[in-house]
Structures are given as structure tokens and as C-alpha cells.
Amino acid sequence: MTTPIRKTGRVQAAPEHFLDSALVEDINRAGIDDARRGFLRRSFLAAGAAMGAGTALAQDGGAGDPNILVLPAHSRTLGKPVVTNPYGQPSQYEANLQRRESPGLTRVGAASVSFTPLQGLFGIITPSGLHFERHHQGWHDIDPTKHRFMINGLVKNPKVYTMDDLMRMPSVSRMHFIECGANTAMEWGNVAVPSVQYSHGMLSCSEFTGVPLSVLLEDCGVDKRRAKVVLAEGADGSSMTRTISLERALDDVIVAWAMNGEMLRPEHGYPLRLVVPGVQGVSWVKWLRRIEVGDQPYATKDESLHYIDALPDGTFRQYTSIQECKSVITTPSAGQRLLDTGYYNITGLAWSGRGKIKRVDVSVDGGRNWRTARLETPLLSKCLSRFNIDWDWNGAPAVLQSRAIDETGYVQPKINELRAVRGTRSIYHNNAIQSWQVAQSGEVSNVQVD
Amino acid sequence: MTTPIRKTGRVQAAPEHFLDSALVEDINRAGIDDARRGFLRRSFLAAGAAMGAGTALAQDGGAGDPNILVLPAHSRTLGKPVVTNPYGQPSQYEANLQRRESPGLTRVGAASVSFTPLQGLFGIITPSGLHFERHHQGWHDIDPTKHRFMINGLVKNPKVYTMDDLMRMPSVSRMHFIECGANTAMEWGNVAVPSVQYSHGMLSCSEFTGVPLSVLLEDCGVDKRRAKVVLAEGADGSSMTRTISLERALDDVIVAWAMNGEMLRPEHGYPLRLVVPGVQGVSWVKWLRRIEVGDQPYATKDESLHYIDALPDGTFRQYTSIQECKSVITTPSAGQRLLDTGYYNITGLAWSGRGKIKRVDVSVDGGRNWRTARLETPLLSKCLSRFNIDWDWNGAPAVLQSRAIDETGYVQPKINELRAVRGTRSIYHNNAIQSWQVAQSGEVSNVQVD
């Protein structure tokens, strides 16, 4: 049967394989659905579409035989040449996978958020084109040859660096997650947003390359006796300035020019952004133009008035910046629909601003029973980790949850455990367990359970 | 001096910092150059460009004062809104960083190569838009809802899978390099191609997600008593078919639908490609439509006539597929120019088809003296590893080389050591040490030294 292939490897031999009636039957039964959602649907419409291929030109020997699946056009024609796209783009069939803004979330798009479509992504790397955006006065595409970066304040030798100065210095590359401090904010008030893109999509993960801030502070002769903090300042019009402790600044902070192997994208701070592993995104100052070394927190507007935690007693907690251990199931998730019973691979993401993920447990009954999920490697510090676990859906209603534990032993809390301490008026730093309800219809929705 | 910032964090305070005459002098001295190449040039033209900014509108208090660097427009205006690009793109200043075809390398672009611009990349992840291309009959954008994947041959239950069937199965995500067996081919004949993009650019590295082939072979009931190999077949018109040993097929081979977090790009096999870690790219069959299980190698045209090694005695070595341990310095590299003496961070990539990289040594004197480079983490098996090492260039001619050693203890050979065994008529599987000559002028060129 495979002789033609043994002899020449020519594709024309392939239809012969399909003469096996069992296979043909299987092909005609096989359902068709939005491949990205990864669910199987039995559908006459779909089967019809599959048979539709049979109306194409028949190959030699196959003409008129209903049992022969005809080779599709792409198996019989010359395709497009290389460098059709000198910089490649996704398939036309993936056009619906986009960063999306939550309508009405803010007054203007220049001070808004676009969310990463976590429900359609795989592994731990976020494609740069789908990396979430959060701007305070819009984004700019800055000419790197004119950009300057200054270090001043409590240093012996204040300096101004060009991009060239920085990019010839010792560099490091590290994979880290970045999460906005306001990610999952709506859940505090029990607002069930419609999908994981809007509930958890202010989260991305990339490989960042740049020079350690510690190297630059050393180069400028930081005054370690008096210095306690640094202030990071962006070059956009938003006056984005954040205080970072000197201890952290000398630890794993990077003055980065590259993300996922190429120069930063404009909306992510091209040509220079601060990378502050484990800390909320607002401190990863974009279009970075200045680091000032000081002896006390600067109390700038974005740390004294914004990104602060409203507590039950009416006071506000300032300078909380670490993104605590958290996880979420991305498939199945709200807005999706299970189109068939049987086996599913439940998959999701876990991360901690304090180090590596040690374990992720998954429940399909609202937290009564837990099973430990498989963790993909590499398991990196302050980086997303991908988990997978098997599930055979019997068609009955279910509530899916994931619970992450990091290397410090910290366990991701339930939403009501968080509320008991922090109340319901908070906006930032919600790392609660997320619940997805699967209805008998297969519809998946966002619910909150005790 | 910083009071205004302490009070409000407003950007208007920034120009005051620049009043420090030492800084202003530094700024005016500071050279400007193509930031991507990361070298510093002293240039009146450049300094002029920098001063040009001074012609913009002056801020309050700064008008007319030549010592005040005026805030650029992007610090004084409203930027672009979020989702200006629902799928983001690189900066306009990075437009020159492209996949490029080597003119005249092949007769038609549909059976050609586009090379990855390694000289402009960072870390280990290759942006999908710059991932190299190698097509044998061009690329297609296949409708995933119509695509089918069949497993037949020596299996109990031959099956045809839809994308939905596959994507609900247990999946894994792994980071691996892919290198064409013909990468660095021209060096055999002592043809010094002009840049690392053309000498080593058939190399990329990504995170791939899919279902292990072992799971699918199990699902079909592979006959482990008789089966010795599998044949992978693509759906394009090139009849691309490659034999892979059953042992490898059951080890770490993945039937993958995703690359770097999103669905595969069309030119990389959307919606399905075989991932064969450590093995030359031709075996990573794109637009994968069939795996046939057999009891002996299939000797298809692309393994019996192509991708074979010409030996000195006129015979050809077949079925050599592992990409042996190799490395290359990407900066500085041929086609670049060192525009100043002083400190440089020499950086490059190392990889091995047999496991992890253990060590990379770097020489700046053509191999007489070697220093051990810093290796970035994570260090993954059959994945690119990024190395860095400090170099203070004194302006004298130099020959830069890197030499990788993998965890098996294998040491990357010199080109003449390879030729002693394999002659000069070979095309494939050249993993020799690469030499870059730095002239007194700073010009870097591709040379071969003993």
C-alpha cells in the first residue's frame, strides 16, 4: 500500500490510504470547530463542510469515487515564496485573537488598558503582539538615537547614557511575568467579568534583556551610606514616577531594551523600560529616562494616590508592590463552551512575585476535592508556570478552580479569605482563587463560590 | 533641586536637572548611532542631531537658555491610545531588522530560504516574525477546521484526527532550537558570506506546544514488536517526507500547533508541525498531515538524495540528522563595525542536539588564548543558550572565536578538523568554530583561520 511513497515519496500516493473505509467513515464523522478553542463538536454542518472538499478536482484514479478524499489545493499547487513577509504575521484564521480594551473602563484610550487573550495562548511566553498595554498618557515611538537615560541624586558621578552606551555594557536575559497591580480588580466587588481575558489579562510573560541596574548604579558611584531608594521616571507625558527600595534596585532589576529577543515594542517602552521582577507593572517604568537615587520614598502621585489598597477601616495601604502567588485556569474558562463530554486537558497559569511555583492543585467541584496538576518546565523564579491536568467531563455541572503554592509555602487564598482581611472596597492586588462554572449545556461562566 | 518631583512628580522639573553643566557637556559629547548595533560613535553630525532637539519649544523658565535641554514632544503631548494595534508591531526604527533571502541561492522563492537576523537579536527566544523560513514548494495558510492528521501503518487502530481532537489532548510546552542541516553550508568551500545572518541564520529558537507523538502512537496502538521507524508527511506540494526512528518518536517528539505562545505562523506549518528536538529542521515536517509507522527507513527523496553528507571518498553519508554542538558570536560579527575602542560585551549563541551546553570559551586572538564566557539561564536541553563575556578593545586587529562544549563532553571542532574527516565537498552539518576578524578600522569580517 505504501510502495509509491517508498519509491518516490510523492504525495499522489496519499489518497490511496484514504480508501480504507474505516478511515473514510472516521473522516466523515469527524467534527469541525474553531480550532483555537480546542473542543470537538459532532455537527452535520461540519461534516458537510468536510465532504465539500470532495467536490474539488479529483486526482488520477480517484475521479467519481465517493470514497476518495481529494487532495486539497495546497497539496497540489505552488505556495507563497519566502520573505512574503520580511516580518511574519499570524494566520488569517487567527485574526480574532487580539488585545482588547474593556469598553467604558476609562474615559480615554490614552489612559486605558488592553488585555491579553490568555484563553487563546499556550506555554508561558506571551507573543509581543498580544502583550497587554496600560498607558497613563498614551504611547510614543521614540527615536532611540535621541533618547537619553540619566542617573542622578545620591551618586558620586551623575551620568547621562545614550542607548549605545547602555547596549555595549554587560547584559543579562531573564524570563519574568509582568502583572498590573489592578489585574482581577473587578472581582473584589463581585463583578463577574465575562472572560479570563478581562479578568486576568493584565498579565504577560517575556524574556527581557538589558543591563542590571546594579551595574549602572555602581558605574555612577551610588552613595550606599545615605541612599535608601531610587526613583524611576518615564519620558512620556504621564509623569510616571515610582519609588523602588535600593535593596531591590541592587538585586534583580534590569534596565531593559529587548523583549522576546527583539527590541521592545513602542507600546511597551521602546527603547528602554525598567524590569522589576515580581513587582506590579506600574513600577516597570516605560520609556525610562531617569533614575534618581534618594534617602526616602518620593511619594509621587502614582504611589501616594494611586495603586494603594483601600482597607476596611477606611485607611489606605501604600507601597504594596509585590504580586503575591496566584493562578488561573485559562481553558476551559468563562465565555467558552464545552461542546462534547469526555476527555479534556485543563490548563492554566501560575506565578508568584516571591519566587518559583512549587505546586498547583485543581478542583472540578468548587474546592471540595483537589488534585495536583502537572507543571511544565522550566520552572523559573518570578515567571509564569504552565500547568495541565486531565479531566473526563461526564456532562454534569462543575466548578473549576486552581490553587497555587509558591516556594515560600504561601498558598493562594480564597476570595472571601482576602475580603475578611481587606474588605470589598479594594481595587489592587487581588490574587484570589478564580472559579469557572461549567453548566450542563457546556457553557462556562465566571462565578464566585465560598 | 528635586522638590517639585517630591511634591507632584511632574515632568516639568526635569529640565532643571540638565542645568548641571557637566551633564550638558556630556550630552553634547554623547555620540549617536544605530542603537541596534550597540556601538558608540563620536560624530559631529550626531551631536548636531542632538542639539537639533534644542530647537523645539522651550519650557517655562528654559526659553533661550542654551544650557537647557528642552523636553522632547513625547514628554509634552498625549500619545496614541491602547489597541492602536490589536496585534502589536515593532518600532518604525526597527524596520531594517528583517528575514532576508540570499540572492541567487535558489532558482525560485518558493523553494528557498530566508535567514534570521541573529546580529540584531537578544536572549534565546526568536521573535516568530523573524523565525527563519525554508520551503520546498512554498507556504500556505491552511484552514485549521479542514486540516486532518492521520496515523497509519503498523498500528492496531489507524486514526484520523481533527485539530479539535488534538488540541483537547494532554499537551506539553518545551523550548527548543531548530537549525537547518544546511546552516553554515558555504563555509565548507571557504566562501566567507558577509554576515552572521547569512552564515548562521537558518537557526531559531522558540517555545513549542503540542501533544507528545508518543501519546498519539499509544492512542493508535503502535505495534512495538514490528515497528522500527515512523514516516512524517507534510500537506504541502513538496512531498516532504522524513524517516524518524521509533525510539526517537517515542522520546521527545511533539505534534505541535503553537510556537511562542500562539498558534504556529503559516510559514512555519500552521496549523500543525512536527517538533523533533536536536534534529535538523527538515525533519520538523510542516503542515503535518500523516505519520506512517513502518519497519524500515523509507528512503524518500529528501533523505536518500538530499540532506546527505558528501565524503572525501565520493560516497555519501545518509540519515545523519543530529545537529552537533555549535556556537557563534553574534556581536561583534561580520558586517558590523567597532566605532570606538574600550569596553564591549561580546555575546553569542551556543546549542547542541545532544543535550545542554556545559561551557563556552571565547578567544580574541584566533584561538591562541581562551576565556570562559558567562552563560545565561535557563540552560535547557536542545535549546539555544546565550553567552556573554567582557572585552576591552585596544584598537589592534583581533580574531574573535567561540567554542562550545555540551554535557556529553563533545567539543565544537575547528573547520580544518572537520575537513580532515569530511573533506570540502560537503554541504550539510557544518558545526565548526566561526572566526570574525576585527580590523584596525573596526570593520568586522568573516575569515577562516587554522
Q: Dihedrals φ, ψ of A233, to 5°? A: -125, 130
Taking the C-alpha atoms of residue B128 and residue A256, their distance in angstroms, rounded to an integer, is: 20
Cis peptide before A90 (omega within 30 of 0): no
Taking the C-alpha atoms of residue A181 and residue A178, their distance in angstroms, rounded to an integer, is: 9
Give CB contacts under 8 A, 24+ apart, made by A100-106: A100/A197, A100/A198, A100/B83, A100/B86, A101/B82, A101/B83, A102/A193, A102/A198
Instruction: For strands A148-153 and A288-294, give the pairing.
Output: parallel
Across the range B158-185, mean pLDDT stands at 95
Buried b (16+ CB within 10 A) or exposed e, B110-120: bbbbbbbbbbb
pTM score, two decimals? Answer: 0.87
User: B449 pLDDT band (50/70/90 cuts)?
Assistant: confident
Residue type, A177: F
Please check whether residue A27 touches B, CB under 8 A.
Answer: yes
Query: Which has the higher per-residue pLDDT, B13 or B93?
Result: B93
* Nearest residue in chain A measured CA to CA from B122: A261
> DSSP string spanning A139-179?
B----TTT-EEEEEESBSS-EEEEHHHHHTS--EEEEEEEE
User: A35 pLDDT band (50/70/90 cuts)?
Assistant: very low
Please check whether residue A96 touches B, CB under 8 A.
Answer: no
Q: Do B87 and A99 touch (CB under 8 A)?
A: yes
Out of A49, A123, A168, closest to residue B209 by CB: A123
C-alpha cell read off for B253: 517528539
Q: Which of B81-90, B306-315, B351-360 has the lowest mean pLDDT?
A: B306-315
pLDDT tens digits, residue range A86-144? 999 999 999 999 999 987 888 889 999 999 999 999 999 999 999 999 999 999 999 99
pLDDT tens digits, residue range B28-69? 333 222 222 222 222 222 333 333 333 333 333 344 555 455
Across the range B350-376, mean pLDDT stands at 98
Q: Distance of alpha carbon B411 from its chain centroid, rounded?
A: 21
The nearest CA of chain B is from the CA of A419 a distance in Å of 31
pLDDT, residue B21, reads 27
pLDDT, residue A65, reads 54
Instruction: Please enumerate in sequence order all residues whose Cβ is within 8 A of that of B384, keeping only pairs 6 or more positions apart, or say none.
Output: B124, B177, B203, B205, B349, B350, B351
Across the range A43-61, mean pLDDT stands at 32
pLDDT of A227 > 60? The answer is yes
pLDDT, residue B20, reads 27
Give the rounded percent of residues in chain A with a pLDDT score beyond 70: 84
Across the range B429-446, mean pLDDT stands at 96
Sign of CA dihedral A401, A407, A411, A412: negative
Give the rounded percent of residues in chain B with a pLDDT score beyond 90: 74
Taking the C-alpha atoms of residue A357 and residue A379, their distance in angstroms, rounded to an integer, is: 7
pLDDT of B105 > 90? The answer is no
Residue type, A85: N
Q: Which A residues 232-251 touch B at CB under 8 Å?
A: 233, 235-237, 239-241
Across the range A423-431, mean pLDDT stands at 91
* Nearest residue in chain B measured CA to CA from A109: B81
Instruction: Please enumerate in sequence order all residues whose Cβ is within 8 A of that of B409, keeping only pairs 6 or more positions apart, or say none.
Output: B358
Across the range B107-130, mean pLDDT stands at 96
| Angle in degrees, CA A248, A252, A258, rounded to 5 | 130
pLDDT of B197 > 70? The answer is yes
pLDDT tens digits, residue range B225-247? 999 999 999 999 998 999 999 99
Q: How many CB pairs under 8 A join A and B?
A: 474
ipTM of the complex: 0.87
Q: Dihedrals φ, ψ of A114, to 5°? A: -120, 140
Mean pLDDT, all residues of chain A = 85
pLDDT of A11 > 70? The answer is no
Which stretches within B30-147 are classed as H helix? 44-52
Please check whether residue B74 touches A, CB under 8 A.
Answer: yes
Across the range A344-365, mean pLDDT stands at 98
Give CB contacts under 8 A, 24+ apart, made by A61-66: A61/A15, A62/A15
Across the range B202-223, mean pLDDT stands at 98
* Nearest residue in chain B measured CA to CA from A259: B122
Element (H, E) at B242: strand B241-245
Q: Dihedrals φ, ψ of A407, to 5°? A: -70, -10
pLDDT, residue A346, reads 97
pLDDT, residue B191, reads 82
Please name which of B179, B177, B186 lies closest in space to residue B382, comparing C-alpha atoms: B177
Q: Do A237 and B121 touch (CB under 8 A)?
A: no
pLDDT of A33 > 50? The answer is no
Query: Which has the higher per-residue pLDDT, B259 or B38?
Result: B259
Buried b (16+ CB within 10 A) or exposed e, B134-165: bbbbbbbbbbbbbbbbbbbbbbeebbbbbbbb
pLDDT, residue B295, reads 97
**Within 13 Å, how many C-alpha atoms sit on residue A314's CB side?**
0
Q: Dihedrals φ, ψ of B115, to 5°? A: -100, 145
pLDDT of A51 > 50? The answer is no
Please check whether residue B120 touches A, CB under 8 A.
Answer: yes
Q: Distance of alpha carbon A421 from its chain centroid, rounded?
A: 28
pLDDT, residue B52, reads 34
The nearest CA of chain A is from the CA of B11 a distance in Å of 5
Instruction: Please enumerate in sequence order all residues whose Cβ is within 8 A of that of B3, keeping only pairs 6 or more positions apart, or say none.
Output: B13
Give the rounded percent of residues in chain B with a pLDDT score beyond 70: 84
pLDDT tens digits, residue range A284-325? 999 999 999 999 999 998 898 889 998 999 999 888 889 999
Query: Which has the higher per-residue pLDDT, B351 or B26?
Result: B351
User: B5 pLDDT band (50/70/90 cuts)?
Assistant: very low
Taking the C-alpha atoms of residue A260 and residue A262, their distance in angstroms, rounded to an integer, is: 6
User: B340 pLDDT band (50/70/90 cuts)?
Assistant: confident
Q: Do A146 and B50 touch (CB under 8 A)?
A: yes
Mean pLDDT, all residues of chain B = 85
